[in-house]
Amino acid sequence: MTLGDILDPSTIVIDLKAANRWEAIDELIDCLVRAGKIQPQHRDSIVGVVRKRESSMSTGIGYGIGIPHASTDLIQDVVGALGRSSKGIDFDALDNQPVTLVMLFLVPQGQFQKHLHTLADIAKLLHRKEFRQALEQAPDAESMFAVIKQNAASK
């Protein structure tokens, strides 16, 4: 499963309003609800699971990247949302730098291998400087998604 399989233009937020990681998580989960990937009645439970995971250790991995993630039994398939921040978000990142790209994903409960592989694939892709720059320069969600599809296929 690639990043291109998890995302589509409806799950990309081109201008996150969030000032911190908690607001970014809320904003991206709201995006998944709007896109029909999460049931509205499950929103608060899913926010709680992601926040609990994020509280144990920040997923700000450096290079301006945050990858909040969690497992939940409230979804059937891996789902995700990508957000871009022009001003940067305080994510308590490993390198203490603001985060400009936040990739939130959720994996169905009990699919530990899929969870690890998805996390590894996303991290590997986002560690590529040219890929991050292309995402940061894309004018809209469709262009960002095109960059993702092109790069996910060529990893």
In this structure, are residues 41 and 33 in contact, taking their beta carbons and an 8 Å threshold? no
As a whole number of angstroms, the distance between CA 92 and CA 60 comes to 6
**How distant, in Å, are the alpha carbons of 17, 43, 96, 100 from that of 40?**
21, 5, 34, 27
Tokens of 23: 């607001």
Known active-site residue 42:
no
In this structure, are residues 16 and 85 in contact, taking their beta carbons and an 8 Å threshold? yes
| Per annotation, catalytic residue among 69, 115, 117, 127 | 69
Query: Which of the residues are catalytic?
Result: 69
